[in-house]
Each structure stands twice: as structure tokens, then as C-alpha cells.
Amino acid sequence: MARELLEYFNERCQIQQDGCIYWIGTLSKRGYGDVHKNKIGRVYGVTSAHRLAYLLHYGTIPNDKIICHKCNVPKCVNIEHLYAGSLSDNLNDCYRANRRRSFKGENHPYAKLTERDVLEIRDLRTYGYSCAWIAPYYNVCNGTIKDIHTKKSWGWL
């Protein structure tokens, strides 16, 4: 692994008393360390700092895995707080904590998706999964995923 990558990473880590290591570079709207606009992110094909942490430690990220946080701190890049989970692990464990609750959309009689689904879909898009990949999982069409991603629908979440 390139030395510049390690340096880039180490320069942006800050160890916390509780054991988490916060990413002090750019954060995404959802609070994840954001590297995708950076040359490093483009070269190594990673969008988030915690994925970069995993990549640095293990040298690879399995294609069908999502890197999840045990500590539920999105900006944490402590390798010991990260694990490669399956999509369903992620849906079950990863993003439960501290979600803002609102039932505006899912109370709609025709709603196929729950609020949680919508937030998960946005996360999946953040992780780089395509609309076409996500849509069948939720039994909706590509356009629905796209609208959620661009906040054309469910914009209040």
C-alpha cells in the first residue's frame, strides 16, 4: 500500500478517550469521513474514510460486503470498531442508533418503504451501490431509488 495513502490517512485521525478514532477530514452529510472527492478516494475507489481504514488494514474490501461500525459512530475509523458485514447485517445492525423518527411517509397507505428503508437506501447509494442493484432488494423500480437519493421523494428525511 502506498506510503502517501498511509500518511494521508494518519494525518486525519484523532484518537478519542472512548477508543474511537475520529476522522477529522471532510465529513459527508451523514457524518461519514468523506474521501470521494479527494484524489486518494478516486485512485483507490473508496468513498468513505472507514472503508479506507479497512482497506489499509486488510488490503482489500470484499465486493459483496459493507464495512459497518460496531460503535455506531460514522466518522470512526478505528479498525477494531469496523467489520465487513453482509447487506442484511448492515440493515439489521448497523444503522439503528439515533435515527430521527418521523412517520410522515410510511403512514401513507400506498407506501412500500419505511423511513428506515429510505435512510438505508441513501446509505447504500453513499456506499456506491447502484440504483439498479438496490431496487430489487426493496422491490421498487430504479426511478424510486433515484428519487430517494436525489431527495425528490422523502426529502424531509
Q: Which is nearer to Zn ion, 27 or 111 (CB)?
A: 27
Least distance in angstroms from the C-beta of 78 to Zn ion: 5
Please tell me whether residue 77 binds Zn ion under the rule CB under 5 A. Answer: no
Sole binder of Zn ion in the list 12, 50, 81, 125 (CB under 5 A): 81
> What distances in angstroms separate CA 122 from CA 5, 10, 54, 131, 147, one per listed residue?
27, 28, 21, 10, 10
Please tell me whether residue 27 binds Zn ion under the rule CB under 5 A. Answer: no
The dihedrals phi and psi of 65, each to the nearest 5 degrees, come to: -110, 155
> Is the Cβ–Cβ distance between 19 and 62 less than 8 Å?
no
Q: Which is nearer to Zn ion, 54 or 154 (CB)?
A: 54
Least distance in angstroms from the C-beta of 5 to Zn ion: 21
Sole binder of Zn ion in the list 8, 9, 12, 20 (CB under 5 A): 20
Please tell me whether residue 76 binds Zn ion under the rule CB under 5 A. Answer: yes
CA angle 22, 126, 20 (to 5 degrees): 15
State the cell numbers at 77: 475509523
Sole binder of Zn ion in the list 24, 71, 79, 84 (CB under 5 A): 71
CB atoms inside a 10 Å sphere around CB 5: 15
Binding site for Zn ion (CB under 5 A): 20, 71, 73, 76, 78, 81
